[in-house]
Every structure is written in structure tokens, then in C-alpha cells.
Amino acid sequence: MPPSAVPEAQVQVLFHIPEGSTSLRRVHNKAIVSSSPSAGHPIKQHTVIAAQDLRKTYGDLAAVDGISFSVAAGESFGLLGPNGAGKSTTMKMIGAVTQRTSGQLSIMGLDPDSHGPEVRANLGVVPQQDNLDEELRVRDNLLVYGRYFGLPMSYLKPKADELLEFAQLTDKAKSKVDALSGGMKRRLTIARSLINEPRILLLDEPTTGLDPQARHILWDRLFRLKEQGVTLILTTHYMDEAEQLCDRLIVVDKGRIMAEGSPAQLIREHSTREVLELRFGSERNTTVGADLQGIGERLEALPDRVLIYAHDGEAALEEVTSRGLRPLTSLVRRSSLEDVFLRLTGRSLVD
Amino acid sequence: MTEDAALTATAARAHSPEVSAARARRWGAFYYAEQVLRVMKGYGWSILMYSVGQPVAYLFAMGVGLATLVDAEDAGAFGGVSYLAFIAPALLVSAAVMTAANEFTFPVMGGFKWRRTYYGPHASPLTPEQIAAGQIIAVTLRLLLQSAIYFAAVALFGASPSGWGWAGIVVATLAGLAFGLPLMAYSASIREDKGQFALVMRFIVMPLFLFSGTFFPLDTLPWAVRWIGWISPIWHGTELGRVFSYGYQEPPVLTVIHFVVLMALAALGWVLTRRQFVRRLGQ
């Protein structure tokens, strides 16, 4: 489908302005700055996904409450937010498996509500919950899935072997699926999603529930896909994952977009360079705040720790000790998207 | 590096998404049927043993054991044919209905809930209707195969005097769908397994099997329970099977009614199933 099939308005309108909150309006303004072409934003590029004021309600509950974004070909785009933020629902609408309640959505220039099979033919999907065919063997899972796209066996057989190689599962080709570890199943699901050589890959929390080693293997595979020019759309509630994989992301909370930009941009705009984490013991974390006033640019007292946002974390720590305060532990680290989220919503990403 | 080289060096490329979508729109149900048949192939031997073993056991027990007694007692009670010829069409139809009852309960619930096998193809170009239809096509093929084997056993036992007995294969398959498709719609609607399927087997399948003119003509039953036969796909299928199997005499309008009832139940089941699949997968 040619890019011209995407209505101009959908490409141009990148943000829905949430009404009321001034802080949200500020976020909106900053995001516009970040989305100017000079900042590398893909306005001029081939837009593969355009959403405008997208909304999905279940009864009274608005799972997705008017979000707008666009994704360019080859871009790696993330939806970051806590559980229940509306990420998965958004992915289902993009994946043309759930109809939107209102708003505009176009995938490769097609409306998923009226062109479901055509939209899905363009996609590879890695769902949050594995739904591999446990009764079939590993390689057969790939073959069977390829058949759903009408692909001939002459193409599928070599392609399945190639994808097993890519997913580092060649020696498991004849195993039963339930004999695989969680990480292997995840990689098989990714291999399966690539059987039709999709232009867009949707990954819904691809590494949730995996151990660190399995996550790193998976990130490596996804990074290779990105290098090959596959458009990646992924949801995650891990900030390190978003930082590793996403060129650009939206921070979503309660079905709305809180901020948008590259991970570095978001950190720059919504946090300081470094963070000093102090633990005074659960009794004192919330009461010690008064003694820490004036150190760093901002202070966040959480039940388990106190966060001091500062340009120079070591200097802030010296200031703390010079005031005679003796934290049980202290840690200076770089700001992360977790801090951005905390700043924007007042809550942690992973509860 | 070697892996990347392998990735780019693929000889054949996938056809375009437009071709995928066009093919899926046209053949999607068969693509999904292929998947179900592949899974069935995984336990093909037990399907085959069941399909062969069940008729042989029933026909031997009823035809050689029970029939000797029944035929000696009153040879004319079953319209002039042997007891074995009388029950053979009923056994054929009942076996198809029971297989349908198995195929359209747990695998359907599993597709939505336990194994979630419907959600994989649902993300592909296939539509919910096609996934439902594909499963029905695969089960229909299984019913045809099983009924053909059953009929071969019936013929070997000499229990199908007419030359039209083979039509019972189609009749049994139709009866299986007439019972199975409404059940499939029910299975697709269940959110929590609270033993509903065990109840279906015990309080619906078994009574239908026993009171559908299977082992004795329906009109020997009191009026109070005869309605079970009238609403039963097993009865309609059995009576239809008997017409083909040994030229059972009944008013032609009744023969037409049997056929229409079976078709209507299957059609109703399909409409309800399709609605459930579209609704549930689209959530």
C-alpha cells in the first residue's frame, strides 16, 4: 500500500491534548518539539502506523482513552507503562484483532476494522501469553503458522530451518513444545511471527517472566531484526528494555499518553542526569525529607527509599553526609525511564 | 555474521501480504482444518483403533450375543430384519454423535482457555469464522473416515442388506454435526470449566443414545418419553440410516423431516458457533 494512502491529517496530528491538567499540556508541548523533523522524527518518512484519538472502552472502563501516535517504517517504537495502562489493548487494535470504539487507526494505510486479513498479513505478532501449539513439534509450529498465510511448503521448509537457526533452536526442531524452557518458547514465538517476513513486528511484553540471560538473548535477536529494517512495536513495563530497544516511545498511563520521545530525550526532559538513592530504614525514609531539603534539584520520598535527583550524585551524597545524616545504604546511578515515569505519574512502573 | 548471511541468503521470498490476505480470505478455513488434522495425526493411531475397535466390539456383543436371543424370541418384531440389521444403523449414528461430542467440547474450550490455540491463527490473516469452520471441516473428515470404517464392519457382519447402506456414512456424519455444532457453540460460550461437559455426556448424550430408538423402536416407549427421540439427532439419523440400510418402511414425508431436522440443527449450530467465535476472539 503506498504511503499516500495514509490521510495527511493522521500523519500530522501526532498528539491528543488531554484536557485539564496543565502539566499534561506541558508534556504535550515538549513532545511536539521532540517530534519536529529536525529532531529526526519520521514525519517525512513512510508512515506505517497512524493512530488518532484512538479509544477503546469496555462498558464504563476506558482501557485506551484517546491516544494518538504515528510510527515510521523501520522505526522501533515502544509503549511503556504499568500493567493495566492500556498497552495490550492498543496492541490488539493495531494487530486488527480487536475493534476500536472510536478514533482513527491506519496500518500500512489500511483500516484494520474493515481490512482485518490484509492488515494481519502485514504483521508478525508476539503475544503477551505464548499460544504455541503444544501438541505439535517445534518445527511444525512454524510450518503450520506459515500455512495460515497461504505460503507454500516449498517456501516454508527452508524458511522454518532458517528461523530455527535465528532463534537458536535448530537442535530442538523435533522436540515437543512443552519440553522447551520459557525463554526458548518465547524465541520460538518470535520465530513463528517472522514466518511471513512481516514488515511490522508487534511484541507485547516480549521478555516478561524471563530470567536475565534469556532476556539478553532475546534482545540480541530483536536488535538484529531492527538492523534488518523490521519495524518493531513493543510494549513493556521494563525501562531497561525500552532503553535498549526503542528509538522512540510513548509513556502510557490509564489509557492516555503522558509523554513521548526517545529514551534519552525523556530522561533529559523529565529527570536529572543522576539519581542518588538513599535508604534510611523503613521507619525514617519518609520522615527524613525535611533534613534533606535543598540537596539536588528534586526529592522523592518513597516508602523503601529516598531519591535525590541531582546533576552530580556524588556531590549530593557528600552534602548529605556533611549534614550529619547516615543512610544505611547509598547509591549513585544514571537516571532511567523509571524516574521519568515516577515524575510523570507519581507512581512506580512495577508495583 | 553467518546467521545474518543465512537470513539474507534465502532463496525464496515470502509472497506479498496482499497475496497472503487474498489466499486466506479464500482458503482460510481449509488452512485451519489442515492444522487440526495435523494435530489429530499426532494421535492418529488411537483414533484409528477406536474407529475400528468400537464397531467390532459393539457388533459382536449385540449381533452375536444379544441378537441370538432376540431373534429367537420374536423374529418379526423389527420389521422383518435381524436384530443386528436393526441396530447397526443406530450404532453407526451413535458412534458419530459421540465422537462429535468429544471433538466439539474439550478441544473448543481448550482453544479459548487452556491451550489458547485459537489465538495464534487469530493474529494471522484468518478470521474467527474461518477458525471455527476449519475445525468443523477437520472433524467432519474424521466423522466420515470413522463412519466409513464402521460401515465396513457392519457390511462384514452382513448387517446392511440393501445396496444403499453406504449412504449411512453420510447420514451418520450429518447426525454428528447436527448434535455437535450446537454443542460447539455452547463450548465456545463457557468461561469456566465447572464440569459442564461431564454433565452433557451423562444427562444429554447417554439418554439420547438409549432413548432414540437405538435398541428398540421408539414407538415401544411410553408417550411420556417418546419426545426424547423426536428432538434427538440420533433418532432422526438412525431412522434415516435404516431407510438406506434395509429399506425401512416409513412415510416419505417422515424421511424428508429427518433430513430437514438434521440440516436445521447443524445450520443453527453453525450460526451460533460463528457468533460465539467472532465475539469471543474479538474481545
Q: Give the distance between the most distant pair of CA atoms in chain B.
A: 84
DSSP-assigned letters across all residues of chain B: -HHHHHHHT-SSPPPPHHHHHHHHHHHHHHHHHHHHHHHHHHTHHHHHHHHHHHHHHHIIIIIIIIHHHHHHH-TTTTTTS-HHHHHHHHHHHHHHHHHHHHHTSHHHHIIIIIS-TTHHHHTTT--HHHHHHHHHHHHHHHHHHHHHHHHHHHHHTT---STTTTHHHHHHHHHHHHHHHHHHHHHHH--S-SSHHHHHIIIIIHHHHHSSSSSS-GGGS-HHHHHHHHH-HHHHHHHHHHHHHH-----HHHHHHHHHHHHHHHHHHHHHHHHHHHHHHT-
Residue A23 in this model has a pLDDT that exceeds 50? no
- First CA to last CA across chain A, in angstroms? 42
Q: Is A251 helix (H, G, I), strand (E, B) or coil?
A: strand
| Residues B123, A120: C-beta atoms closer than 8 Å | yes
Q: What is the overall mean pLDDT for chain A?
A: 84
User: According to the model, what pLDDT value does residue A27 have?
Assistant: 34
Q: Which helix (H) or strand (E) holds A152?
A: none
User: According to the model, what pLDDT value does residue B3 have?
Assistant: 46
* Phi, then psi, of B76 in degrees rounded to 5: -90, 0
Domains in chain B: how many in total? 1
In a mutational test of the A interface, the residue from B2, B8, B20, B32 whose CB has the highest number of chain A CBs within 10 Å is B20
Residue B2 corresponds to which cell in the numbers above? 553467518
| Residues A150, B15: C-beta atoms closer than 8 Å | yes
What percentage of chain A carries pLDDT values higher than 70?
Answer: 86
Listed residue (A212, A220, A209) closest to A186, CA to CA = A209
Confidence of residue A350 (pLDDT cuts 50, 70, 90): low
B1 found inside a domain: no
B5 found inside a domain: no
Which residue in this structure is represented by grid cell 505439535? A136
A291-313 residue pLDDT tens: 888 888 888 888 888 999 999 99
User: According to the model, what pLDDT value does residue A36 have?
Assistant: 37
Q: How many CA atoms lie within 13 A of B123 on its CB side?
A: 32
Residues of chain B where predicted confidence (pLDDT) is lower than 70: 1-11, 75-76
* Phi, then psi, of A256 in degrees rounded to 5: -125, 155
Q: Is A11 helix (H, G, I), strand (E, B) or coil?
A: helix
Closest chain B residue by Cα to residue A97: B282
User: According to the model, what pLDDT value does residue A300 have?
Assistant: 86
User: According to the model, what pLDDT value does residue B5 have?
Assistant: 44
B151 found inside a domain: yes
| Residues A117, B18: C-beta atoms closer than 8 Å | no
**Segments of A59-210 assigned E as strands:** 61-72, 76-80, 102-107, 123-126, 200-204
| Residues A148, B17: C-beta atoms closer than 8 Å | no
User: According to the model, what pLDDT value does residue B165 have?
Assistant: 92
User: According to the model, what pLDDT value does residue A301 have?
Assistant: 84
Q: Which of A225-234, A280-289, B193-202 has the lowest mean pLDDT?
A: A280-289
Q: Is A330 helix (H, G, I), strand (E, B) or coil?
A: strand
Confidence of residue A45 (pLDDT cuts 50, 70, 90): low
- Domain hosting B265: range is 28-281
A165-218 residue pLDDT tens: 999 999 999 999 999 998 899 999 999 999 999 999 999 999 888 888 888 988
Which residues does chain B have within 8 Å of residue A118's beta carbon, measured at their own beta carbons? Answer: 17-18, 21, 125
Residue A37 in this model has a pLDDT that exceeds 50? no
Residue A238 corresponds to which cell in the numbers above? 521494563
CA A283, CA B112: separation in Å to the nearest integer? 48
Q: Is A341 helix (H, G, I), strand (E, B) or coil?
A: helix
B256 found inside a domain: yes
Nearest neighbour of A196 by CB, restricted to B14, B121, B122: B14
- How many degrees, rounded to 5, is the angle at CA A262 between CA A253 and CA A192? 80
DSSP-assigned letters across all residues of B136-157: HHHHHHHHHHHHHHHHHHHHHT
B93 versus A350: which is more confidently predicted?
Answer: B93
B3 found inside a domain: no
For residue A236, list its beta bridge partners: A80
Q: What letter represents residue A35's amino acid? A: S
B230 found inside a domain: yes
User: According to the model, what pLDDT value does residue B75 have?
Assistant: 62
